[in-house]
Amino acid sequence: MTWLITGGAGYIGAHVVRAMTEAGERTVVYDDLSTGVAERIPDGVPLVVGSTLDRALVTRAIAGHGITGVVHLAAKKQVGESVDLPLHYYHENVEGLRVLLEAVVDAGVPSFVFSSSAAVYGAPDGAPGTLVTEDTSCVPMNPYGETKLAGEWLVRAVGRAHGLATASLRYFNVAGAATPELADTGVFNLVPMVFEKLTAGEPPRIFGADYPTPDGTCVRDYIHVVDLAEAHVAAAHRLAASPGTDLTLNIGRGEGVSVREMIDRIAGITGHTLPPTITARRPGDPPSVVASADRIADTLHWKSTHDTHDMITSAWQGWLLRHPTAAGGAAGGAAGGAAGAEGADRAEEADR
C-alpha cells in the first residue's frame, strides 16, 4: 500500500514514517512545515508541502501518488493556545479533517488512521490508580481535546457511511526518540520543558504535591514514541486487511508514573540534581490518568516494549545534540533521556 502521512515531518509523524517504511510500506509525507522539519523525512520519501485545508492540493497528492491509506497526524495541539484561540483550533483540526476526509472518500481510499488523544477523557472519574478504558466517559476540558473528540466522531461517521476502515488512536504522554536527530524539538511537553529548566540551571516545578496519589504528585502514563509508531503500523495493517473495521484504541503502557518519580529518574540519568520547587496546583489537572492497554493488545497484538529509562535516555541524547552544554550536570549526563516535573502533563502530545 501507499500511505499518505499528514504531519509526517513532525516529531511523532517522522517516527511513524520511519516505522511504516521499515515495515515495507510506501509513504508520502504531507506537511505544511509550520512546526515540522523537512530534514526528518527519510531519503526517497516524497514530501508535499501544504495544508489539509487545501482540498485541491490534497486531491492532487492522493491521485498523483496513488494513495491507498491515510495516517492523519497533522493538527494544532497546544492546550493553552487552544483556550485562547478556539476558532483557530476548530478550523485547523476539525475543518482540516473534514476537507481531508472529503478528498479521501471521493478518491475511494479505503483506510484511515486518525491521531487522537487522551485529552478526550478530560479528568476521568474514579479513584487514583483506576485505569482509563476506551469506554470511559469522554469529557474534554479544553478546545484541543474537544477537537480531537469531534474528530473521532467525524471519522467514525464517515467510515460507516462510506465503508471506510478507520482507527482512532488515543495517545497518552509521548516521550523519547528513535535517534537523536528525530527527538522532539518543541518545548511544549513535560520532557523538554524540564530539560529546558535544567539546562538553564533552574529547578523544575511541580504543580501541586497534595493530590490523593502515593507521593502527592500527579500520575501519568508515558509511552515511547517508537512504540507509538509501531502501534500505527499495526493499526494500518489491520485496516488494510479488514475493510470496514472501526477501531478506537488507547496507546499507553498501562503503568502510572508520578511527577516526582520522573524527576528522580531524570536526575539519575542526566546528573542534574536540582531539587524541584513545589507550587500551587494548576486548575484542571486530574490526579491520575493511566491507560488500560488491554484492548489494543487483544485487537492488534501490540504491546509497548520501552520503559521510562529508554524514554529519558533517548530524549536526553536528542536534547544534547541541540544543546551540547547541557551535559554539565553532576554526572556529566552523557547517557541521555528525560522526563519531568513542570507539573503533570495534560495529555499534550508532542509536535506530530
Active site residues: 144
Facing residues of 61 across strands?
none
Q: How far apart are CA 238 and CA 247, in angstroms?
A: 10
Tell me how far apart the terminal alpha carbons of the chain are, to the nearest angstrom.
22
Strands (DSSP E) found in 267-345: 277-279, 288-291
- Closest to 344 measured CA to CA, from 278, 277, 268, 286: 286
Copy the grid coordinates of residue 208: 501541586
Q: How far apart are CA 32 and CA 52, in angstroms?
A: 8
Q: How far apart are CA 294 and CA 210, in angstroms?
A: 30
Q: How far apart are CA 40 and CA 227, in angstroms?
A: 18
Copy the grid coordinates of residue 210: 497534595
Q: How far apart are CA 285 and CA 346, in angstroms?
A: 7
Q: Find where cell 529509562 sits.
A: 309
- CA 30 to mean position of chain CA atoms: 17
Whether 71 and 16 have beta carbons less than 8 Å apart is answered as yes
* CA dihedral angle for residue 345, residue 306, residue 38, residue 234, rounded to 10 degrees: -100
Facing residues of 29 across strands?
5, 47
